[in-house]
Amino acid sequence: MTLKEIAELAGVSVASVSNVINGNFNKVSRETRERIEKIIAENDYHPNAAARILSTQKSRIIILVLPHIGAYFTFNSNPYYGDLVAEIEKYLRERDYCLMVRCVDNCSEIVPVISSWNADGAIFAGVSSDEIKEIRSNLHCPAVFIDSYCEEEGVACVGINDYRGGYMSAIHLLNNGHTNIAFAAPKIGGEGVIHERFMGFCDACRERGVSISGEDIFEVDAILSNSIVAGQDIAFAPKKYTAVSVMSDVSACGIITGLARAGVRVPEDISVVGFDNLSMSKMMVPRLTTISQNIEWKARRAGDLLFEMITTGASLTVCEQLSPELEDRDTVKNIVV
């Protein structure tokens, strides 16, 4: 069946049928829309995606780019990415758009792919400011950046106040009497999410007169097996820590396992604070105290900004941050004498 045949059965123009199929409901009456949709359903008509792209110049595809994921890893090795993908897909599905997920080791790899698919827009997670500049200079569709820090004109960024999250993590431990605190996170670097969290953590400690040195920093990625090793390293470190501030729930889970294998109890011997408030943090025993970031808000706000750019054709200069919250559960012990 063709658009022309549908139009003849409905007694309307081909343009009206096209408007209904492409979601331009403001251009047809409700009665006409319902009549066309009934004919489409009765005849099990499915529009040809390639033909629709040619006629509308819109693919209805949004590409989500997850960078720095090499050939031996997948995004679902870190449940944070899994939750983010799920929230973005749900948002796009509500708007009859399709999500394409692409993991790359280097962000420069993705620009030709986005162009070849004629994507209507792109969302990038966790890229550096230098990468953003390169992407924006070569990308010819709207883009929003999640978990990135960039103040360039024409760049839209959405995330949480990571500095505040790191600060809250340290303050909670300090308020519970802990002064020998380890910090566990991926490589800190000179900018970005982990850098901001570390700065907040350090400032909170400095305000309370607690010094943090290089020996207190344990570098660990969000891979469970590596985090287990980090937990054992903390347990057997020369300095006797009473607490550890961890910058992801996945790492916190692994560190708690590593501590247990070394005969260290949580929170009786060492207290632990995680970061993200993933589902796993509520299922662990003991339940993980963690810094909560609203992943649903990130996804929907990124989507709102992206569709504003797609609709208006204008670029946006935005840097929006939501304040995180502390989820106080069972892995922090009060040792105030």
pLDDT in tens, 21-72: 766 777 888 888 888 888 888 887 766 554 555 455 567 899 999 988 766 6
Strand, helix or coil at 318?
Answer: strand
Indicate the range of 7-11, 56-60, 186-190, 298-302 predicted with least confidence: 56-60
Model pLDDT for residues 222-266, shown as the tens digit of each residue: 888 899 999 999 999 999 999 999 999 999 999 999 999 999 999
CA-closest candidate to residue 207, choices 245, 229, 175: 175
The predicted pLDDT at position 54 comes to: 47
Strand, helix or coil at 144?
Answer: strand
Q: Where are the beta strands (DSSP E) in 57-175?
A: 61-66, 98-103, 121-125, 143-146, 156-160
The predicted pLDDT at position 298 comes to: 97
- 176: Cβ–Cβ under 8 A, 6 or more apart, which residues? 243, 271, 332, 333, 334, 335, 336
Strand order of the β-sheet with 61-66 is: 98-103, 61-66, 121-125, 143-146, 156-160, 318-322
**pTM greater than the 0.75 cutoff:** yes
The predicted pLDDT at position 71 comes to: 64
**Greatest Cα pair distance in the chain:** 84
The predicted pLDDT at position 127 comes to: 92
Neighbours of 130 (CB within 10 A): 11
How are the residues of the chain apportioned to helix, strand and coil, as percentages rounded to the nearest 5? 45, 15, 35
Q: Which amino acid is at 295?
A: I
Mean pLDDT of 132-142: 90
Q: Is the pLDDT of residue 17 over 90?
A: no
Token pair, residue 241, equals 């820590």
- Percent of the residues in the chain that have a pLDDT greater than 70, as a whole number: 93
Confidence of residue 305 (pLDDT cuts 50, 70, 90): very high
CA-closest candidate to residue 145, choices 125, 121, 120: 125
Cβ atoms of residues 162 and 301 within 8 Å: no
